[in-house]
Amino acid sequence: MRSITIAVDSFKGSLSSREVAQAFELGFCRRLPDCKVRKVSIADGGEGPVDALVETLDGVYVDATVLDPLGRQIVARYGVIDGGKSAVMEMSAASGLPLLAPSERNPLLTSTYGTGEMILHALDRGCRKFLVGIGGSATNDGGTGMLRALGFRFLDAQGAELVGGGEILEHIVTIDASAVREELSECEFIVACDVTNPLYGPTGAAYVYAPQKGADRAMVEQLDRGLRVYARAIERFNGIKVDDIAGAGAAGGLGGGFKALLAARLERGIDMVLDAMHFDDIIAGCDLVVTGEGRIDRQTTMGKAPSGVLNRAEAQGIPVVAIGGAVQPCEELSQSGFAAVLPIVAGPVSLDVAMQYDVAFENVARTAEQIARLLTIKS
């Protein structure tokens, strides 16, 4: 065993991606001290791409003062990588649901304006490539807030500019791009989108996601009507039929706004992260890849971080072992291609105890040592 790569998502509430990798390296090298170990922080498009890419690519964190979903000033953090050429950000840092108290949730009022301000901040630093995770939104404004921050104007039938959250959508007649920042024409946007929901309709942004953002039935119906009106305004503006775009309904229609008005590419979150860090090059020539996440189940095989790692390693003929805080056996995992799927917990224990930092760290290290022992068995 010459070299291994450890590319594990965080064990949420317990260990970060980096901490899981550190624990694994510690345990593995107890048995195979001469093995070369490469630690890679990974994440899908929901939570963690900023930390994963900044840590793996030696980037820097940047703080920007922006408006939260209800227009209050906050500080949002994003990352800058590639020597300052690229920005990686999570829209939830500026426009996420956790920024609001439960009583404040109202997608008619909440806006993605702060996400646009975060993009502007990076634009002014010289960034021209943007990697954006759009999970965890508090909004259902179709990205109009973000786009307004970038210079787009949304006008009603009288030509008056519309300002606000999801409530403005059903009043949009015209889109005006005369004040859009010129630098945007030089930019590339890659958006992590792990859902395929359309912009509107029974499986669209409003009906599927708005209730968890505070919408009642009447609000859902109003937002869905608004997204339909918005789609027609976009089609009149540039001819793009956003209705046909899979993932347009992600993050309250933000996926559609990015795609239709900023020419963004919508990609699986883990693919966006792995491509940005040149993961295929990282694992080239290694003997084993270890991946995992806090809970491994059938969802793991459906586009989550470990499945993305597995796909890349399989393409190079490299075996992959997955570890998890808990493993739910299922046929999907059995057929997935992992060489082994291992829980780190050795015996019955409460969830609270299992998630304690010291306990989880040592469990990962012990599991890693056992894997190393197996690899030393001679046939």
**Domains annotated on the chain, with CATH:** 3-41+282-375 (3.40.50.10350), 49-267 (3.90.1510.10)
Q: Residue 244, class by beta-carbon neighbours within 10 Å (0-12 exposed, 13-18 middle, 19+ buried)?
A: exposed
- SS3 sequence, 276-311? HCCHHHHHCCCCEEEEEEEEECHHHHCCCHHHHHHH
Model confidence pLDDT, tens digit, residues 239-266: 999 988 999 999 999 999 999 999 999 9
The whole-angstrom separation of Cα 368 and Cα 286 is 17
| DSSP characters over 89-132 | EETHHHHBGGGS-GGG--TTT---HHHHHHHHHHHHTT--EEEE
**CA–CA distances in Å: residue 345 to residues 66, 212, 327:** 42, 33, 10
Model confidence pLDDT, tens digit, residues 122-175: 999 999 999 999 989 999 999 999 999 999 999 999 999 999 999 999 999 999
Query: Mean pLDDT throughout 337-364?
Result: 92
Give the pLDDT confidence score for residue 150 in this predicted structure: 98
Give the pLDDT confidence score for residue 347 in this predicted structure: 84
The whole-angstrom separation of Cα 122 and Cα 88 is 9
Mean per-residue pLDDT over the chain, rounded: 94
Cα torsion 358, 359, 360, 365: sign: positive
Query: Mean pLDDT throughout 100-115?
Result: 98
Model confidence pLDDT, tens digit, residues 301-335: 877 899 999 999 999 999 999 999 989 888 888 88
Query: Mean pLDDT throughout 179-192?
Result: 96
Give the pLDDT confidence score for residue 302 in this predicted structure: 79
Query: Mean pLDDT throughout 227-235?
Result: 98
What does pTM read for this prediction? Answer: 0.90
Pairing status of strand 174-176 against strand 340-343: unpaired
Give the pLDDT confidence score for residue 46 in this predicted structure: 64
Query: pLDDT band at 1, cuts 50/70/90?
Result: low
Model confidence pLDDT, tens digit, residues 75-95: 999 999 999 999 999 999 999
